[in-house]
């Protein structure tokens, strides 16, 4: 069982294609354990080309003994014209593997960790691994090779010959909070990184887990409820080594929430600053609760060129209902801290949660109008995607929106009954139509021509240091003003 093919099933290239960090971590760990590993990547590339054929060809040429498939995205969480990736993955990825009809088949990844039974049942793979995969996969392979039982390995699900599925979900095993040691993945040594270089960012994970209790969130199910931190030295050594190989790369932190716990984020910045590295950094998942002047100042010094800040709401009632650990007063402070540091920010709001009504919407819209810099982007999601094992799932069952034990693989959304989808949608459309910097999730992908124009302007005016979203927003503003004049 020495040859392993790892397949990246991700077919999404918006907002940009993301390189398969998790698979590269697995590949590194497997190589260190003396397996022969290949990664099949690139299903996201637009096209007509023979994508299915190329995976089929890879299988025939490589003749793997084990095929591991990463399931990251299930759907895009957008209520309007929701994109469900599972059928596409079936066509492009699962079918060729089924046709190959050899080898042990294993599923894993964030999407799989939320729906292990449904996906194993649907595709009839042999095994699935929930949670982080590198150690568990090697344990599983060793157990198979040595004829040991496989059904007591934490995180592993197994489809027995009679079709019965058993398993121990990773979320039920809290880590002991020990230091996180991951093999450096060196993504560009496992796959052709060229297509990611121009549009994407290089992902860096500084920790796993999430101790926050947000009502709707799936992160604790995927990564566990306790933090495991990498040492700052380890994280920055990795960044430094990537920077030597790919000097122009933008690094993006992919922790569930970058600034929680805040001290860890501060220490990472301090280590970068002390080494005098000249970096371009960005991150998603900045929680307002953890924003302090010290942290943002350090982030600026370390090289952060933009951040994603995720208040979700700007109504005290909704912040409570969503189980957020900050209030509107804190949010106002956050805005001034970010302004003071001149930190370009994309703001994320999710409207329509339990208790949302006209008044709470007014509060959020009012906040956006009064406080958010119009050069910053405001991203508004309509309705909340319901995930298994979350507080929102319980409420949705109580309110009869979903049934108990109903599969949530096909996306279901929660929308407050006090508004209903039509009203919520109308109110958001009305608001975004008056503010060029506010975009509904469904409209957030800029048209190709706009991207092209933005790229030309950036080149002509030498705007390489400006975040792309700001260039795009200026173009939207021009269009907006022309529309108003018409
Ligand atoms: C960072 C992030 C982003 C960043 C990515 C930046 C970048 N440069 O990579 C941004 C903001 C761009 C982004 C965008 C999107 N994201 Co996102 N993202 C994440 C997040 C927080 C972390 C992903 C990550 O890199 N983790 C770190 C790596 C190391 O972990 P990993 O890949 O999961 O791999 C480990 C295990 O899963 C496992 N494993 C992985 N593969 C395999 C395979 C096998 C065989 C085995 C055994 C194990 C295994 O082992 C790995 C190593 O331990 C996750 C939530 C989460 N906590 O996972 C959401 C998440 C993956 N995103 C999600 C979604 C929906 C999206 C978008 C579609 C949103 C949108 N509408 O735009 C886009 C899609 C982008 C794309 N092109 O695919 C959802 C997917 C769930 C769903 N509903 O489908 C998640 C789970 C968040 C959620 N809501 O729960 N995202």
Q: Residues 102-142: pLDDT tens digits? A: 999 999 999 999 999 999 999 999 999 999 999 999 999 99
User: What pLDDT is stored for residue 484 in this prediction?
Assistant: 63
Give yes or no for residue 413 CB within 6 A of ligand 1: no
- Say if residue 245's pLDDT is above 80: yes
**What span, in angstroms and rounded, lies between the C-alpha atoms of 201 and 388?**
30
Q: How far away, in angstroms, is 457 Cα from ligand 1 center?
A: 32
Residues 401-414 have a mean pLDDT of 97
What residue spans in the chain does CATH classification 3.40.50.2300 cover?
A: 3-172
105 ligand 1 Cβ < 6 A: no
pLDDT (average), residues 450-461: 92
Closest ligand 1 atom, CA of 223? 57
Q: Which atom of ligand 1 is nearest to the CA of 74?
A: 84
- What percentage of the chain has pLDDT greater than the value 70? 97
Is a pLDDT exceeding 80 seen at residue 398?
yes
Distance between Cα 72 and ligand 1 center (Å):
5
DSSP-derived 3-state class of residue 454: helix
Alpha carbon distance 121, 114 (integer Å): 14
For ligand 1, is residue 132 a contact (CB within 6 Å)?
yes
Q: 16 C-alpha to center of ligand 1: Å?
A: 13
Beta strands 304-312 and 345-351 are: parallel
DSSP E strands, 383-464: 384-385, 413-414, 438-440
Q: Give the pLDDT confidence score for residue 44 in this predicted structure.
A: 80
Top mean pLDDT of 170-179, 389-398, 446-455 is at 389-398
Measuring from atom 21 of ligand 1, which residue has the nearest CA? 256
Bridge partners, residue 251, by sequence? 202, 281
Residue range 447-475: average pLDDT?
A: 92
CATH 3.30.70.1380 for domain 201-445, yes or no, is no
- For CA atoms 106, 135, 194, 446, the dihedral sign is positive
Model confidence, pTM: 0.96
Using a 6 Å cutoff on CB, does residue 222 contact ligand 1? yes
Closest CA to 108 of 119, 99, 100, 98: 119
pLDDT > 80? residue 84: yes
How many alpha carbons lie under 13 Å from residue 114 in its C-beta half-sphere?
Answer: 23
Distance 484 CA to ligand 1 centre (A): 39
Residue 466: both structure tokens together: 């400006």
* Distance linking the first and last C-alpha atoms of the chain: 68
Residue 172 pLDDT level (bands cut at 50, 70, 90): confident
Q: How far is the CA of 111 from the centre of ligand 1 (A)?
A: 8
Q: What is the pLDDT of residues 423-434, one digit of tens each?
A: 999 999 999 999
pLDDT at 48: 44
> Judging by beta carbons within 10 Å of its beta carbon (0-12, 13-18, 19+), is residue 297 exposed, middle or buried?
middle
pLDDT at 46: 47
310: Cβ–Cβ under 8 A, 6 or more apart, which residues?
284, 285, 286, 287, 288, 347, 348
Least confident of 60-64, 169-173, 326-330, 431-435: 169-173
The residues, any chain, with a CB within 8 Å of residue 230's CB and separated by 6 or more, are 179, 180, 181, 182, 205, 206, 207
Average per-residue pLDDT in the chain?
Answer: 94
Q: Is the dihedral of CA 47, 49, 50, 54 positive or negative?
A: negative
Which ranges in the chain are annotated with CATH 3.80.30.20?
201-445
Structure confidence by residue, pLDDT tens digits, 268-308: 999 999 999 999 999 999 999 999 999 999 999 999 999 99
Residue-wise pLDDT tens digits, 27-65: 999 999 999 999 999 888 744 455 556 899 999 999 999
What tens digit of pLDDT does each residue of 190-222 get?
999 998 987 789 999 999 999 999 999 999 999
Check pocket membership of 386 for ligand 1, CB cut-off 6 A.
Answer: no
> Is 252's C-beta closer than 6 angstroms to any atom of ligand 1?
yes
Class of 3-172 in CATH: alpha beta
- Cβ(73)–Cβ(109) under 8 Å? no
Q: For 224-233, write each residue's pLDDT tens digit.
A: 989 999 999 9
pLDDT of residue 51: 54
Q: Are 225 and 255 in contact (CB under 8 A)?
A: no
The sign one gets for the Cα dihedral 313, 290, 309, 285 is: negative
Helix (H) or strand (E) holding 129: strand 127-129
Answer yes or no: is pLDDT of 445 > 80: yes
Token pair of 218 as six digits: 């799936």
Query: Which residue's alpha carbon is at the smallest distance from atom 89 of ligand 1?
Result: 218
pLDDT for the residue 47 = 43
């Amino acid at each position: 069982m020495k040859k392993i093919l790892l397949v990246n099933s991700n077919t999404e290239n918006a907002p940009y294609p993301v390189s398969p960090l998790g698979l590269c971590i697995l590949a590194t760990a497997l190589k260190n354990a003396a397996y022969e590993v290949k990664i099949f990547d690139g299903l996201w590339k637009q096209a007509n080309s023979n994508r299915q054929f190329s995976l089929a060809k890879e299988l025939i040429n490589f003749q793997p003994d084990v095929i591991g498939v990463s399931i990251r995205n299930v759907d895009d969480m957008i209520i309007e014209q929701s994109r469900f990736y599972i059928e596409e993955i079936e066509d492009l990825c699962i079918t060729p593997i089924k046709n190959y009809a050899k080898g042990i088949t294993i599923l894993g990844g964030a999407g799989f960790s939320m729906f292990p039974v449904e996906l194993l049942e649907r595709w009839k793979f042999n095994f699935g691994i929930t949670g982080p995969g590198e150690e568990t996969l090697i344990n599983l392979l060793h157990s198979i090779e040595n004829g040991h039982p496989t059904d007591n390995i934490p995180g592993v699900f197994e489809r027995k010959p009679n079709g019965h599925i058993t398993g121990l979900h990773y979320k039920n095993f809290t880590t002991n909070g020990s230091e996180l040691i991951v093999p450096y993945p060196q993504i560009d040594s496992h796959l052709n990184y060229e297509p990611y270089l121009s549009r994407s960012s290089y992902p860096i994970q500084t920790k796993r887990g999430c101790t926050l209790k947000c009502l709707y969130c799936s992160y604790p199910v995927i990564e566990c409820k306790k933090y495991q931190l990498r040492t700052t030295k380890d994280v920055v050594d990795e960044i430094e080594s990537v920077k030597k190989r790919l000097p122009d790369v933008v690094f993006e932190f992919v922790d569930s929430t970058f600034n929680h716990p805040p001290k860890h984020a501060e220490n990472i910045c301090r280590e970068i600053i002390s080494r005098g590295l000249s970096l371009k950094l960005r991150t998603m998942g900045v929680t307002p609760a953890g924003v302090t002047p010290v942290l943002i100042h350090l982030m600026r010094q370390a090289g952060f060129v933009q951040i994603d800040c995720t208040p979700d709401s700007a109504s005290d009632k909704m912040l409570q209902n969503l189980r957020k650990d900050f209030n509107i007063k804190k949010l106002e402070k956050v805005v001034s801290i970010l302004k003071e540091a001149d930190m370009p920010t994309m703001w994320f709001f999710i409207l329509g949660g339990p208790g949302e009504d006209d008044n709470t919407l007014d509060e959020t819209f009012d906040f956006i109008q009064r406080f958010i810099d119009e050069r910053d982007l405001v991203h508004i999601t309509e309705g909340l995607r319901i995930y298994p094992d979350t507080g929102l799932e319980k409420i949705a069952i109580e309110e009869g929106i979903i049934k108990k034990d109903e599969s949530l693989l096909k996306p279901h959304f929660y929308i407050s009954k006090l508004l209903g989808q039509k009203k919520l949608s109308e109110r958001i459309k009305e608001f975004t139509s008056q503010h060029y910097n506010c975009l509904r999730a469904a409209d957030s992908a800029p048209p190709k021509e706009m991207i092209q124009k933005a790229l030309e302007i950036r080149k002509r005016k030498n705007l390489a240091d400006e975040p792309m979203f700001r260039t795009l927003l200026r173009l939207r503003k021009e269009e907006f003003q022309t529309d108003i004049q018409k």
